[in-house]
Structure 1
Amino acid sequence: QENFFPQKDVTNLILAAFTTAHARMKFYSVLDYLGSAVLYYEIDSVIYISDDKNDPPLGDYLGQFTDGLPHEKHII
């Protein structure tokens, strides 16, 4: 028990559930947008065939996607 941190009283379970649900809905909307181009997906990643027109917008903030590969690298 000494390895655990004490629980804080400022935890907001409703906000945590909303954030998770919103992220899941955003993820599913991108899967729907990519359609048959999707080859594989997990909870937090998508591998798809890019035609340079169907790429989702990238960013560093909540709700935005990031590229897991170095710039200008592709999986062939």
Structure 2
Amino acid sequence: MTMAQLAIAWVLQNDNVAAALVGASRPEQVTSNVGASGVKIPPELMSRIDEVLGDSVQRDPELTVTTNPRTRPGSN
């Protein structure tokens, strides 16, 4: 698995991520990115990746904020 595929697989397995926005500038990148679909990263590797990423990763869903679009300024 490439580093890009690992990153995509990690994002797809992160319960705090609602959608993965994946970009590509060449057709072969799209094909490669699809290779991350369905990859199951073992829990111990997910934990190790989170450890390496340090404070840039938030795994506790209690600390994420959901905004009600009806309460945004300018919404009716």
TM-score by length of 2: 0.25
Q: Which structure: greater helix fraction?
A: 2
TM-score by length of 1: 0.25
Higher normalized contact order (CA 8 Å, seq sep 6+, divided by chain length): 2
Structure with higher Rg: it is 1
Q: Which structure: greater strand fraction?
A: 1
